[in-house]
Structure 1
Amino acid sequence: MTASFDLAGLPGRPCTIAAALELVGERWSLLVVREVSLGNHRFSDIARGTGAPRDRLTARLNALVAAGVLERRQYSDSPPRSGYHLTASGRDLLPVLQALLQWGDRWTAEEPPVRLTHAPDGHEGHAVDAEWVCRTCREPVSASRVERVLTPAGRVLSGLPAEDDA
């Protein structure tokens, strides 16, 4: 299951950023995704890693499962207990976490507590950066080279006809 939002019903400019923030814009949501991606699947481990109050954590876990970001997998029959695991949707949030980590390293900490590295065979660890890459040609893209194009759905949400008559 995946969450679906009525974009026109969201406040302000209707867009999928606003819809995404409805689901994961609350602090505990992304920290839960971080913890599960680090291998913490049990409630107690996620609670310890996030520092979230138990009632808030329960609400966030339920919302993330309902939205299809996480799935529950039973790991004990007696007593019945389940762990939380990322779905494809949840794994697609990892670059978001990487970009937040990179921004936080630059703007919020004198000395970051962790660094992401890539260590190919025979090489010392290389720093890993979040960046925009073209899906087709795999070329790195800068913000100045990105064009915003309204889709038919975006045109309708903006009060325009679905198809451009030009």
Structure 2
Amino acid sequence: MTMDEIIGFVEGLDGVLAIRPGPDDGSPEISWGDTYFFHSPDGVVPPATQPFATIVTKNYPGDESSRLDRPDAFRVNVAAGKESFRHWTGHAPRQPVVDDDPGAADVVQAHPVYGSLGWLAVVNPGRRTDTAVRELLRTAHRLARSRHERRKESTRSSEEGEG
């Protein structure tokens, strides 16, 4: 899978806002070239909300173990929930990971930094993980959509209670 294929797939899901930081938008330079996916039917980045998936194209400080400084390396990061995390890793998010190679390509594994929060990651997804990555992205999108709907309902209930 290429980054463009992944971006196209995720943008095809309902209500997705893909943010691609660049030099002309005021975003920090370190984020340029990466992509952040939010569930946002109104097309505005939701306040105080994390993306449900990202694509990163470089090492970040404290997150060098995936070795994204290699040519053409990138990593898909997905918040696919505890159930998916347990399915792919064999353990709960907060349990320590042993013997994983965070730089291994085309392998679904715990995110090297955010695995304890239930994030999964795949460096350079390919033939072995194509179907899994798409399913994980669908699941993360569904979970983000559900959170968005709960927040919207909670806001609506609060506003009705003020009257």
Asked whether the two chains share a fold, i.e. TM above 0.5, the reply is no
Compare CA radii of gyration and give the structure with the larger one: 1
Task: Name the one with the larger helix percent.
Answer: 1
Higher relative contact order structure (alpha carbons within 8 Å, sequence separation ≥ 6): 2
TM-score by length of 2: 0.23
